[in-house]
Amino acid sequence: MNMFFLSIASFLLAIGLLVAVHEWGHYIVARMAGVKVLRFSVGFGRPIWLRRGGSDQTEYCLSALPLGGYVKLLDEREGEVAPSERHRAFNRAPITARIAILLAGPLMNILFAIAAYWMMYAIGVPGLQPIVGKIEPESIAARAGLRADDRILEVGDNAVATWEGAIIAIIDELLEEERIRFVLRSTDNIEKTVYLDVAGQVRELTEPGKLFSGLGMEPWSPTVAPVIGEIIPGGTAEAAALREDDKLLSVGSEVIPTWDAWVAYVQAHPGKTLDLLIERNGAQMQIDLPVLAFEQADGTVVGRIGAGPRVGADLYDKYIDEQRYGLMGALPVAIKKTWSMSALTVKMMSRIVTGDVSVKNISGPVNIAEYAGYSASMGLASFLSFLAVVSLSLGVLNLLPIPVLDGGQVLYQVAEFFKGGPLSLRAQLIGQQIGVVFLVLLMGFAFYNDLSRVFS
């Protein structure tokens, strides 16, 4: 399976699964509250698969547009209801039951994220230790006192073990502070505390792909020999019959000195076919290797082949930190991770609204599909992390007090409680119109960002 089809398949699997989880929350709580469920749909539009089941003959269907879903409940506001079933209508349920039904969808997304992180940490998540590489002169990092080979121990008040954790902590601090506190350990084992001055630069630094270049630093990477250690299924390396332990000698007329040099060459030749000379079992072979064009979050297109280097055990043990816990030990770590990522998502959304964070961070279906395919190609732990992040985003987004979203509908129920009766149809209609405008603008930004990345 090539990367395009892997991205599509992974995207459909992820969206279908997360929408089903969200709608199942509404569905199961509605049934528990005695409200009749007419339809459970994954997707919008015309059903392409439909079955009826249960005493209520609820319709379960997959619909043509796979970008959402819905649970349709019996409701007197949407049509005539037989007198014998009025007690099962949503609008007749107690306000507390209605609020529980509405909140159940986002809550299921949050619980799913906990489950995904739980499984991820039980499997084990390897990551590169947060060791600083190149520092640009006169940059924010240089002025703060960071030096090459410094190991980051803490960002703000958070201890960090990998670059993935360090990046999340840096972004979190960016949204709160004008100076970011780093605790570092130098190569001579001396600890120091430095502060990166980021005042007035939050918008620039939070643009996709701009964090490290804006700070003037790069993550450290080891010097690794150009030897294949992993073939990722679905990549062009697999299609070209490259194997583990193949040594890469040259491409065209250029010698390949290190794995990093090879990666840089591949990234610079998206869509090309490379004339690659390798050594296998002591014999040299010529291979035609196509390079896949892959679009990154910042819109730049780079080449990928779907292969990883052979890393010696000593290098792995020295620089790789694997976060792996027992089945029970992984649960509190997963809950803490879910909480921190939820808080970060809320902060990012609020700062986008105020204009402090670039709207380029809003991703549409094209970009999400690319991340889905890439994470799936990197293994189960990576794909679980992707599912958890998207599930949290879906849950948090639906809690916003926008009338067409769950949070907005909860707001209607609260208003009814204090008013002593439902809001007028006119007020509800105006709210729905405002909500639709918001979603259209949001989708507009998302598709614009996708198209900008594609055509820039």
* Residue range 141-157, pLDDT digits in tens: 999 999 998 999 999 98
How confident is residue 317, by pLDDT bands cut at 50, 70 and 90? Answer: low
Rg (CA), the chain: 26
pLDDT at 312: 64
Distance from C-alpha of 169 to C-alpha of 161, rounded to nearest angstrom = 11
**Residue-level pLDDT at 10:** 86
Q: Return the percentage of the chain with pLDDT > 70, whole number.
A: 92
Residue 423 burial (CB count, 10 A): 16
Q: Which of 29-33, 307-311, 451-455 has the highest mean pLDDT?
A: 29-33
What is the DSSP secondary structure assignment for residue 35, as one 8-state letter?
P
**The pLDDT value given to residue 1:** 46
Instruction: Check residue 286 and give its pLDDT.
Output: 92
Which one is catalytic: 23, 59, 85, 178?
A: 23
What are residue 183's DSSP bridge partners? Answer: 154, 193
Instruction: Indicate the pLDDT class of residue 220, thresholds 50, 70 and 90.
Output: confident
Give residue 176's pLDDT band: very low, low, confident or very high (50, 70, 90): confident
Beta strands in 292-434 (DSSP E): 292-295, 301-304, 307-309, 320-323
To which residue do tokens 């000593």 refer? 314
Across all residues in the chain, what is the average pLDDT? 86
Are 125-221+311-323 and 228-306 the same fold in CATH?
Answer: yes
Band the pLDDT of 448: cuts 50, 70, 90. Answer: low
Average pLDDT value for residue range 174-191:
90
More confident residue, 431 or 291: 291
pLDDT-derived band at 81, boundaries 50, 70, 90: confident
The separation between the first and the last C-alpha atoms of the chain, rounded to the nearest angstrom, is 27
pLDDT of 456 reads: 47
d(CA 257, CA 122): 37
Q: What is the pLDDT of residue 61?
A: 94
- What is the pairing mode between strands 191-197 and 228-231? unpaired
The model's pLDDT over 9-42, given as tens digits with 9 standing for 90+, comes to 888 889 899 999 999 999 999 999 999 999 999 9
Q: What is the mean pLDDT of the segment spanning 205-230?
A: 85
Distance CA 247, CA 265 (A): 16
What's the CATH code, domain 125-221+311-323? Answer: 2.30.42.10
Whether 85 sits among the annotated catalytic residues: the reply is no
Check whether 441 has a pLDDT greater than 80: no
Considering the segment(s) 228-306 as one domain, its CATH architecture is Roll (2.30)
- pLDDT at position 146 is 93
**Beta strand spans in 156-300 (E):** 158-159, 179-185, 191-197, 217-219, 228-231, 247-251, 254-255, 273-280, 283-290, 292-295
**Quick check: 381 pLDDT over 60?**
yes
- The DSSP-derived string for 270-311 is TT-EEEEEEEETTEEEEEEEE-EEEE-TTS-EEEE-SEEE--
**For 323-345, what is each residue's pLDDT tens digit?**
888 889 999 999 999 999 998 88
Strand partners, 286: 277
Q: Would you list the domain boundaries of the chain?
A: 96-124+328-456, 125-221+311-323, 228-306
Please report which confidence band the pLDDT of residue 105 belongs to, taking 50, 70 and 90 as the band edges: very high
Mean pLDDT of 373-400: 87
Q: Residue 331: its pLDDT value, please?
A: 95
pLDDT of residue 221: 75
